[in-house]
Structure 1
Amino acid sequence: MLTIQPDRLDLQPGDRVLDLGCGRGRHVYALYWGETPVHVVGADLSESEVHATANGFFELPPPPESPDRSASLTAADAAKLPFTDGSFDAVICSEVLEHVPDPQAALAEIVRVTRPGGQVALSVPRWWPEKICWSLSPEYSQTPGGHVRIFRERQLRDAAERTGLAIDARHWAHALHSPYWWLQCALWRNRDSSRRVALYRRFLEWDLLKRPLLTRVLEALLNPVMGKSLVLYFTRPAA
């Protein structure tokens, strides 16, 4: 399930791409197995998530061989990245900034490691669906490692532009996931045993595997209205 769309990044063979806050590797895998061969680096603060992503490579068939294709993983703090200036042609940071103590510091590091003329893609939970989650369950935002802030679109865009990035495009994603999280928050203390939560989870898993036309069209229509994630694309100006 991708939130950021790699084909919007105009990647070229051999480009270096950083997935910052890679989690369990969904964007790392998409980039590594993508049609355009790139050198992808996945970085996450959690060493257990990095190990889980590494193990996932052995569960999938190898991609077509190419000298322009590779993948590597590392544990890293978003506010202190272990990469030199301008190391990457593109950086993606999906569903991370709502977790970090200092998002402006993380954005400054993202820009630092992006080459002039390179691209940056950011995604965070959309403000109003996320606000409903916080309203339905005080515990939702207090979960260890959970969300510590809610971004409005203008707030995230201003924060990125203060680091020198220039906005290119935006879209929303995962509209069908918004009701799932509202249901979880409404039943927070019993969510693990709730039949309704389990049924909705199975529906989302079925949709992810089968991707039927009906739900694809439905989500495309609903994303501008109730998409769970906001996605913004930027360029670091060459000058």
Structure 2
Amino acid sequence: MLSLLKKLTAGTPAPAQPVTPEVAVVDKVDPFQLGLFDATLSGWFNQQTNELFPGFLISPEDTVLDVGCGDGGNVHFCGMRGAKIVIADIDAAKVESTRQRLGDTPARDIECHVTDCNPLPIADGTATRVVSTEVIEHVDDPAQFLAELARVGKPGALYLLSVPHPSSENLQKGIAAPEYFEKPNHIRIITEEQFKAMVSDAGLEVLSHSQYGFYWSMWMLLFWESGVDLGNADHPMLNSWAETWQKVLDSPRGAQIKSALDAVVAKSQVIIARKPLAE
């Protein structure tokens, strides 16, 4: 910079024009793509091991049932592994969009149900893999819902179940919009002990219980404060948080920091369970 200034001023009778420094253009961090990346760091969507989540392997021989399929991210991963896919959701539009999304996968079969899951219109012992993420906190009768999930699994079937972690839910209290904790949204906060008991009482064996999602917990907290719409969540606070978290993950000890924070405030808790083999 000093040599540049000398060249600009040497032998010039008029004062040198000020030099405007170049400002690097930084690509905006997509908070949802960052959230997906953060999830993969927690073990989701492992393309090397074909595990949807650690301990939940998907193979072409599996029949995967996703109850409350939402936007279909989980079953798309399973469909890419060639499994048979069965989806069920109360929202017909989500079922249809997920069906279309599965069209570009090598899933060996696709079966769709629009249902409130009470009961599930699915035969006993249908699935080798049962997925239901962020659903139980919405239903009126968790015991009945889990009994249905247990019924439709084959003996030995694996279950991937998740609900919001109480650390994140309690953080949202008094800040989230009132409807966040009203039907049809989150009508209960489920503790770790309650979650394990619910799954065990349904006759399933809990194999693992973990948590993740500090990034999303903080993002949601800032989302309520930002006042923007979820479909267009563009706000300086949200953008700054995504940029900060990206820098954290890129730092030398980013994974260690993420793990420590996930252990303190987590968006979700995840149980892998198994249906006992028939005696």
Structure 1 pair 53/200, CA: closer, same or farther in 2 (3 Å)? farther
Identity of aligned pairs, percent? 26
TM-score, normalisation: structure 1: 0.81
Q: Secondary structure at the match of 1:161?
A: helix
Specify the SS of the correspondent of 1:234: strand
**Aligned mates of 2:146, 2:240 — CA distance in 1:** 35
Letter in 1 for 2:119: K
1:91-102 equivalences under 5 Å are 91-102=130-141
Q: How far does the alpha carbon of each residue in 1:185-231 deviate from its partner, in whole angstroms, 9 at most, with x for none?
A: 344xx233872354258659x96xxxx75597243443222221100
Q: Could you tell me how far 1:144 is from its partner in structure 2?
A: 5.7
SS at match of 2:263: helix
2:201 paired with 1:196: no
Scaled by the length of structure 2, the TM-score of the pair is 0.71
Number of residues paired by the alignment? Answer: 224
Distance in 1 of aligned mates of 2:183 and 2:242: 25
| 1:158 alignment counterpart | 197
Q: How does 1:73-222 map to 2 (within 5 A)?
A: 73-137=112-176, 139-142=178-181, 145-187=184-226, 190-192=227-229, 195-199=235-239, 203=243, 214=251, 217=255, 218-222=257-261
Q: Quick check: 2:68–2:135 contact (8 Å CA) kept in 1?
A: yes
Is the alpha carbon distance of 1:12 and 1:157 closer, same or farther for their aligned partners in structure 2, counting shifts above 3 Å? Answer: same
Gaps of at least 5 residues in structure 1 are none
Counterpart of 1:177 in 2: which secondary structure?
Answer: helix
Between stretches 116-125 and 195-204, larger displacement belongs to 195-204
SS in 2 for 1:226: coil
Q: Is the 8 A contact 1:91 1:120 kept in 2?
A: yes
**Partners of 1:121 and 1:71 in 2: how far apart?**
19
Amino acid corresponding to residue 44 of structure 1 in structure 2: D
Q: CA deviation at 1:15?
A: 1.2
Contact kept? 2:126, 2:153, Cα under 8 Å: yes
Q: Is the 8 A contact 2:159 2:274 kept in 1?
A: yes
DSSP 3-state at the match of 1:17: strand
Larger Rg: 2
Higher relative contact order (CA 8 A, sep 6+): 1
Q: Quick one: which of 94, 98, 104 aligns to 1:53?
A: 98
1:15-59 deviation per Cα after TM superposition (whole angstroms, max 9, x unaligned): 11101100010101111113xx3111121111011122223345x
**Alpha-carbon contact 1:42-1:74 (below 8 Å) kept:** yes
1:43 aligns with 2:88: yes
Secondary structure of the equivalent of 1:121? Answer: strand
User: In the alignment, what sits opposite 1:14?
Assistant: 61
Check whether the contact 1:191–1:197 (CA below 8 A) recurs between aligned residues. Answer: no
CA distance in 2, matches of 1:213, 1:201: 14
Opposite residue 142 of structure 2, the aligned amino acid is: P
Post-superposition shift, 1:143? 5.8
